[in-house]
Every structure is written in structure tokens, then in C-alpha cells.
Amino acid sequence: MIRLIGYFFGVATTLGLLVAAAVAVYVGHLAKDLPDYEVLAKYEPPVTTRFHAADGALMAEYARERRLYLPIQAIPDRVKAAFLSAEDKNFYNHPGIDITGLGRAALRYVTGGPTQGGSTITQQVAKNFLLTNEQTIDRKIKEAILSFRIEQAYPKDRILELYLNEIYFGLGAYGIAGAALTYFDKSVNELTISEVAYLAALPKGPSNYHPYKHTDRAIERRNWVIDQMVDNGYVTREEGAKAKAEPLGVKPRRNGTYLFAGEYFTEEVRRQIIARYGENALYEGGLSVRTTLEPKLQRLARKVMQRGLIKYDTLRGYRGPVTTIDVSGDWGKPLSEVKGLSDVPEWSLAVVLDSSDKGLTVGLQPARQDSGALVDERVEGTVAKADMSWAMRYKKDGKTLKAKSPADVLKAGDVVFVEKKDDGDGYLLRQVPEVEGGLVAMDPHTGRVLAMVGGFSYAASEFNRATQAMRQPGSSFKPIVYSAALDNGYTPASVIMDGPITITTGNTTWTPKNYDGRTAGPATLRSGIERSRNLMTVRLANDMGMKLVAEYAERFGVYDHLAPYLPMALGAGETTVMRMVSAYSIMANGGKSIKPSLIDRIQDRYGKTVYKQDDRSCEGCNATEWKNQPEPELIDNSEQVLDPMTAYQITSMMEGVVQRGTAVTISELGYPIAGKTGTTNDEKDAWFIGFTPNIVVGLYMGYDTPKGLGHGATGGGLAAPVFKDFMKTYLVGQPKIDFKVPEGMKLIAINRKTGMRANPGDPGAFIEAFKPGTGPADSYWVIGMGTDGSNGPGGNLSPGAAQAIESGGGGLY
């Protein structure tokens, strides 16, 4: 018996050694092909890129995996406790695997069941980072081997940090910081016990515990996690009971942009980041982009632009409902399916329930809960006839008709836009304007774009009319022409003929006209720009040559290449609002070039600055100690595009546009403001660009498919009031700062009509700015006396003759 027992023992030992050897060979074979766990030391997961406004407000987030990486030191103990309780309560004690759990998983596999359970946090790190999700015994063994190696190579806190930043929580969120924002719109240090427990429940199966699809199951799993936290001593039983009594409280954070009214600006920055660094950097690089956007100015710009577009549009009458639905049953569901304007929260979609001589009864589009379900309550309101009086003039079948009653305009089932009145008593009828426009506000000293409006609504059209729309600037281009003249020998007192002119080139004949069709005879350059005289501008451009005008237009950045044809002097070439505002900023900046910028600074995921808009150098700024040296100064290396004295002269002349000319309505603000109106052929576009010493604001209004805005629709009548509306709010509390007169400039009294030196007591005297070596003419000389624009016979007139011509030439515009 003893020998038999010894025999069987020997056989068993041999078999055991053989099995051990086989297992060792098998494990060794698996271990040979294991991935390098040292890559965890260089772990750089895809991280969310974030855009911030100038005041730090979050504008937008972009990510393929919505993740914000947090070091373990920044993760609260309560969050760690929840995940340890839910996933691996012995994490800080085991060597990387849970032997009991692993044995249980192996047994299920041997008996034909799927491999599950038994994974520690370390094993999950090994699987998520280094292996696949396949459910095989090979993968489990590899996972165990890697877990041992990871535990030996990295401290526990580093492993937990990797885990909490990598795991998927559902709804596109990765990592605990991303999940806290996605589910609760909170930072991790703001989460309650109930909230951290729910997040800790999700990694086991995010879709199984969806907050709306499987609410009961989600609450059950959350409560289990809370119980584990109580059992492990992380929270008291009272705290646990209170947390379990709370609802899930999930408030999903919406994707995309977060700053109200900033959609056009944000999208422009997004395009620039992709152009500069590529899509992967935007969606995975974790960039921090600080933009130039000033939220208060952006909201103001949006408000005044929308107000201007609405005002113009309502004067053209009502074009009809958005759509029509059946209101015989529950009108809430079909109305909820009509798409509104998400970025115009002041407006609501409504369906007409009844229309009469007194007005409309409307039903408001039902709101949706976070789960997406419609709110059961149906809200009704009224639109009085007086609050839709503009719609009594409506269009039908291409004809404009006049209604006697609201019932003639709208009927039951018509879906319309309404806006609640300021006093809360009823609603105003609204419609999305057909006319569009773009606006840019810029700091003229740095080129920082402070606000930008690309249209009435980004939700309706993503096309950015401030940067993408190519439009004719019309007369707003004239300051470029006059700047070229002032920089090349002309003065603001130079006199040009405002009379009929015909230009013949080859077989082509062009006869330009002033906007009002009148002429005024000889007048100074100042008068020409204040009254926006086309004929004077053409003569001036013809006298100095269009090649010079084209050179200055390109120098100012208005065009890349301007064809040297005379019609271009009247703004016939196409450009953008952004380029025009940048050009005016050069004048406001003393003639120094500026580079328009929407981005102040870009930092990578580690906080290192990889781009800075302000590239001025500063010698001595980094001195280690003070040795009575002078204070360091920032060195501005900007190119001098325009003589500083010329910049002041053209600015002074554009002040005249505001004080006496085509934008005189703006003078009511009582601040030093310079600017120029612009109206293109057939009134297709209306422009105004104006500035103070500290801000430049420019805009245009026009149809996307250019067509006439209507007779009398000018830059002074449409665009200038929008600018005025903006500045009226912007200037509140601002000191009145005059435009700085360059040192050495001569201020001389001249006769406003003749441009010659004024005699004491002259009623037409005016103080004009002259450069050193220049001044009022000693004799009266009129540029472009010939009908072809040349200085032909009769160019040198006496003041009396000029007076006679002017008085017989018709009124000024």
C-alpha cells in the first residue's frame, strides 16, 4: 500500500510538474507578445479643446472624446471613495489582481459561461490601455500579467489617476471630469454623494443605466454604490440615506457653443484653429484658446444688428407663416416638430388658434424636458391687432396687399414667430428678416476683434457675412482714395470740380453720377468726402492715377489685387466687412498697420503657450534686478502704412461726415466720432464704418442674393442708425477723447468753399489741418475742370468765377 501510494504520488508529482511546465510555457508564450506597459508613463489621451472669451467665459468645447484630464491630486476623496467602493474596495492592498474573483471568472469560462467579474482597477487599466475587449481566457491571463507588472512599475495613485481619466461614462463623456460636466454641468469638487455614486455606477455599463431610458435601474445601481460607500466607512448611514432619497438629478450639458450670441465668432475661431493646427489638434489636442471676444459687446452688437434688420424688414410687410399644421386635435406635438431659432431665445414658435378683427389667439410651442419629453402643459397667448399692425401690409402671390383685419393675414393652423412684450401683456408678431448683414467691432490699436455678427441668426444660416460675404463697399471705400491723395501732395483744402464727367476707354464710355443726380461745382476734398460726391472722387482718382489708388487699397488690405479702373474708386470691387474695418483701424491707429485677430493666445494641454497674438518685443522686461535703468518699453514694430499726419487729416475729414455730412444723425451722440457711409449701385448694399480713438465698428446691410433695398435706402439711412445704436450704449460712462493731433501739424483757418486762407471775420471760415510745408493755395485752382476729368482750359479760376459755378450747379447731397 505504501509503495502504491508512493507510485501514485510520483505520477501525480510528475503530472503536476508537466502541467506546471506546460502552464509556464503557455504563460511565457503569452507574455512574449505583451504590449509595452511603459507607454502608460507617456499617456496622452484625447482631451477636449476649449475656447474662452476675453473675460474667461467658456465659449465652446470640441472633442471626439469629451475628456478633461485631472491629476489625482485634483480629484476629491469623495470621488475616489465612490469608485473604489463600486469597482475595487481593496485596490490599495492587492498586488494587481483579485485571486478569488479571477478564479470565479475562470470557472465560469470552463463551465461554458462568458468570462466576467474579478477585474480590479489595475486590470481594467491594463485592458483599456493595452489590450482588446475580447472575452477570452488568453486576454484574461495577459491582463493579469500586465497588472502585476503595472503595479510594480507605478504607484497606486498613478494607476487610479489613469483609470479615472480614461473610462467611458456614456453620452460621449470620458474621464471623471468630463462626466461631471456632461451629466451634471458641474466640476468634480461640486458633486454631491448621490451624484458621485451615480457616476461610479456607470462604467459597469453606461447604456444599462441611462438616466432617462432606464431610470429605475440607474437609481437601483446608484443606491447600491451608496450602500457600499456606507459599508466601507466613507459616508455615514445618515448621509447615505439622504443621498438615496434624492432623484438622479441629471442635467445634461448641451454640446457645441455655450456663450450666448457668440456662434459666428466661435465658428470663425474653429476654422482658424483647423487651418493652423489641423482637425486632430482641435478635437483631441486639449488646446486652451483665449479669444478676443468681449461678451458684453458681442451681445450689444447682436442686439443692434438684429434690431436694424427687423426694422427694415417689417417696413416691407409680412410674407406669411413659417408653415401650417392641423390644430383640430392636440396641436402641441405637431408644433413641437417645427424647427425654430435656437439662438434667438426672445422669439417663440406659436400656432394661430383663432384670428379675428381684434387680433390672434396663439398656442406657444411646448417646452421639452431634459429627457426630451414634451411638457404636458399647453400655453396660450394673444397678439393684439396693434402689435401686428406692420403685418397689415402683406404679400400674397407676389402682390403686396393691405388687410383690414388680422383674419385677412393669418388663419388657424398658421405657425408664426412671436415675442413676449416687455410689459408681459401679450405678444408681438415677428418674422425672420430676408435682408441680412455683417458687423465687426475692433480695437484699432491691436487689431483685436471685440465683437462680430455674421447674420441675423446662426441657427438659420451659418454663413458668416462679416468674413465670408464678398460685397461692394461703395462710398465707404472713398477714404482710401482720399488717403492716397493726401499722402501724395493733395490737402483737405484742395479744390476739385463736382460736375458732369464722361470717361472713354477704347470703345467703352462711362458717365458716373452723384447719388442725388446733382452737381455742386468746385469744392474742397473735405466737402467731397463729407457729402460723398462721386464725381469729385472719380476726378481725384483720375488726376492722381488709379495705379496709386490700387496700391493704397492693397496696402490697407482692402483688396489683394485691385484692377486699376476708375469705377473701382467708387467701391465697385468686392471685399469683406472684416477687411474694411481693418483698413479704417489703420487710420484710427495713426497710420500703423494692424493685423485683425480673433485669438489672443493658444496653450497646449500642458499650459505651454504655443501662439501669442501680441508679438511685440520688450528689451529689459526680464531683468533680474533693478540697477537704476529706465523702465522697459514694448517696441511696436508695426509697419507705417500711412503718414501719421495723413491719418489725422482723413480722420478729421471723416469727423466732418458725422458733424455735417451724410452721417449727421450720429453727431447727436456728442462724442468725437469719425466715419463714412456707403451706398452701392441700385442701393444693393448700405454701409457705415465709424470709429472713436478706441474702437472701430463697421457693418453692411443687404440681401444675400444682391438686389435693391429700395429707393432712398442709403448707408446714412440704414447702416448709420445701427452704428449709432451700438455706440449709444458703448459710450455710456466713457470719457470724451479727441483724436490726437500729430506734433508739427499746422492748423489754419480757411474758407470752406474756396479752400483758400480765410480772412478775419469770414463767415465760411473753418480750421483745417496741414502738414509742414503745405497750406492753403495762394491762387484758386480747380482740379479736373475738363468734362473728361482733365485739368483742361479754364482750370485756373478766380474765386468769384468759382462762386458763380457753384451757385448754378444745384444742391449738395
- Looking at the annotation, which residues are catalytic? 87, 475
Cell of 461: 444660416
Q: Which three cell numbers stand for residue 490?
A: 493733395
CB 665 within 8 A of CB 725: no
d(CA 702, CA 437): 6
> What is the sign of the dihedral through the CA atoms of 169, 174, 175 and 177?
negative
Helices H, strands E: what count in the chain?
23, 29
Question: What pairs with residue 675 in β-bridges?
Answer: 690
Under a CB-based contact definition with an 8 Å cutoff, are residues 87 and 101 in contact?
no
Buried b (16+ CB within 10 A) or exposed e, 64-80: ebbbbbbebeebbebbb
Evaluate whether 476 touches 716 at the Cβ level (below 8 Å).
no
Amino acid letter, residue 225: V
CA–CA gap between residue 769 and residue 645 (Å, rounded): 9
Closest C-alpha among 612, 588, 53 to residue 298: 53
* Cα distance between residue 630 and residue 650, in whole Å: 36
DSSP secondary structure letter of residue 632: P
Cα–Cα separations (whole angstroms), residue 464 to 266, 293, 304, 721: 11, 16, 17, 22
C-alpha cell at 589: 491707429
- The whole-angstrom separation of Cα 445 and Cα 619 is 21
Contact in structure between 291 and 596 (CB atoms under 8 Å): no
Side-chain half-sphere CA neighbours of 258 within 13 A: 16
Query: What order of strands is seen across the sheet that includes strand 288-291?
Result: 58-62, 49-52, 288-291, 599-603, 609-612
Contact 394, 367 (CB under 8 A): no
Cβ–Cβ < 8 Å for 437, 545: no
Phi/psi of residue 429, nearest 5 degrees: -80, 135
**Residue carrying the nine cell digits 473728361:** 788
**Could you write out the three-class secondary structure of 367-432?**
CECCCCCECCCCCEEEEEHHHHHHHHEEEECCEEEECCCHHHHCCCCEEEEEEECCCCCCEEEECC
Query: How open is the CA angle 433-271-278, to the nearest 5 degrees?
Result: 160
Give yes or no for a contact between 500 and 511, defined as CB atoms under 8 angstroms apart.
yes
Backbone angles phi, psi at 748, to 5 degrees: -125, 140
> In this structure, are residues 357 and 406 in contact, taking their beta carbons and an 8 Å threshold?
yes
